[in-house]
Every structure is written in C-alpha cells, then in structure tokens.
Structure 1
Amino acid sequence: MENVVSLEPTATGASGLQDFAAEDDRQRLSSVAAKAVARLATAWKASNADAAALLGVSGSTWDRIKADRWDGVLNQDQLTRASALIGIFKGLHLLFADDMSDRWPKLVNRGPVFEHKTPIDAMISGGIPRMLETRQYIDALRGGF
C-alpha cells in the first residue's frame, strides 16, 4: 500500500481545535506541505512573489522550495497557510470540472470575501483569516458547511 501523509495534525490545542504547534508535527508535515503548495502555485500560475507571500516565506526560501532544494521546517502559521491553500485547491477541483479550478484564483471576484480583488490578492492582503474565509467560501459553494 502507498504511504500517504496527511496534513492533519496529530494533536489538538487546548480549545480542541487542530493546530500545528507540536514540533514533531511540523517536522513531519513541512516537506510535503511545501511541495504541495509549490504544485498548486504552478497550477494557478502564481508569480514567485505571490506564492512566497501566500505561504509566508521569503523569496529566497520560495526559490529553494520550488527547486526542491529546501529541507527546513515550516512554522505554525506557514503550515496553517499551506493547509488552507491545499483545501482551497481541492475544493476548487471538486467544484469545477474544467480548467476554471486553476484559473479561478487569479480572476477578479465580486464575492464579499474578495473586495473586487483576485482571490490570490485578497488572501495575500488578508493573511490567514482571509485564506480560511476563502476556504469556507469554496466549501459553501460546493454545498458544504
């Protein structure tokens, strides 16, 4: 059977919500999360600057991630960003049956979450809260909760 790594943390915080606070979770998940974000950034045709900003890393770190020459550990915020982006990517591919799933993040959007910006620009300017809102927005469009 194929070895599958989940981006779900193994521990939960005091509130019962999942978090990426545990160092062993971050070490275990960082490489696969970074590679997944690199793949979705390529699919979305995001610029290097936009991809780095979405993940919350420097341009030089993004260059190493993109070239598969990075062996660092993402911090809690960066893993939260990666998890949200991966969820958005998956949700878009479930919502749209064509190439719209990869074009949508760069299209100006009139939805209340996006303020007439592209989803990528809205998520960069709004940070983690806007990324989570975007993921909820996509899930709601799909008929989720």
Structure 2
Amino acid sequence: MPVAIQAQDFSKSQCAAGLRTALNILDKWKASSEQACQILRISRSTYTRAKQRDSEWAVGLDFDQMQRISLVLNIHAALRLVFDNPENVYGFPSMENRNEFFNGRAPLDIMAQGDMISLYETFRRIDALRGAQW
C-alpha cells in the first residue's frame, strides 16, 4: 500500500536544501523577494536566512510549503524540456503571455498571487507545453 509523503518526513536540512534550490530558480526567473515569499509562503526572515551561505542553517517547513517548492521545481523541469536555450528557460516565467489563462500577465505574476490554485494552474499550463516529452 503506497504511503503519502508528509512534510514531517523531511528533515530540517532537507527542507532547507529544497527551499534554497527553489529560491535559486526563482532568482533566475527574476522574481522579487516579495514574489518569492508569496509563491513559497515563507516569511521575509526565512527568505533572508535561506539566501545566506550558512551551510548549518536548517528550517522546518509544512506540507503546503513543500508542495510549493515541488511545483517550482517541476515548472523548472518542464521549462527545461520545452526550451533549449537558457534565455527562454529562465525568461519565460517573467514574460507577458497572451494565452487565455494568463491574459497578458506573466506566469510569475500569477504564481505570486500566493494561493495554491494559481501556482498549480500555472504549473499545469506550462507542463502542457511539453506534450508527451516525459
């Protein structure tokens, strides 16, 4: 019987590693610190600590925060499959998009609304671009 992974199944150092990875991706997408905090549902102080190079730093994250990190990582993976060049892989999230769902807004702006539905729907739309490439 499959067992669902819960946030408590991750150590604080694993949570910190995931958070730092997601923040590195968001930096490459040109997300502001405010956008990153909204997308990942973290405080400004957690953001600041995660950006420091303290290898001993660790943080406990809840299930929602871990899901958000996972979605950012999966959006990044989908973009890497869809686009061959780094300019599009890292530029696409901040580009205006005329697709019906985005209506002229950048995917990053949709994700930064802060709710899980906006983040998930952005992932779904970007993931759909890759077709059957998995």
Q: Match for residue 75 of structure 1? A: 62
Could you tell me which of 42, 59, 63 is aligned with 1:57? 42
Using the alignment, how far apart are the partners of 1:22 and 1:83 within structure 2?
A: 12
Give aligned pairs, total.
Answer: 129
Q: Match for residue 118 of structure 1? A: 106
After TM superposition, list the pairs within 5 Å mapping 1:1-145 onto structure 2.
Answer: 11-12=3-4, 20-25=5-10, 27=12, 29-69=14-54, 70-98=57-85, 99-125=87-113, 127-144=115-132
Deviates more, 1:49-58 or 1:27-36: 27-36
Deviates more, 1:24-33 or 1:72-81: 24-33
Task: Indicate the percent of aligned positions where both proteins have the same amino acid.
Answer: 30
Deviates more, 1:80-89 or 1:40-49: 40-49
3-state secondary structure, aligned to 1:125: coil
Q: Report the TM-score when normalising by structure 1.
A: 0.78
Using the alignment, how far apart are the partners of 1:122 and 1:22 within structure 2?
A: 25
Q: AA paired with 2:125?
A: Y
Question: For 1:92-127, what per-residue CA distance to the aligned partner results, in whole angstroms no more than 9, with x for missing partners?
Answer: 111111111100111111223323211111112162
Using the alignment, how far apart are the partners of 2:13 and 2:3 within structure 1?
A: 13
Q: Do the aligned partners of 1:113 and 1:130 also contact (CA within 8 Å) in 2?
A: no
Q: 1:117 to 1:74 in 2, by over 3 A?
A: same
> What is the RMSD computed on CA atoms of the aligned residues?
2.1
Ranges in structure 1 where 5+ consecutive residues have no aligned partner: 1-9, 13-19
Moved over 6 A (4+): none
Q: Report the TM-score when normalising by structure 2.
A: 0.84
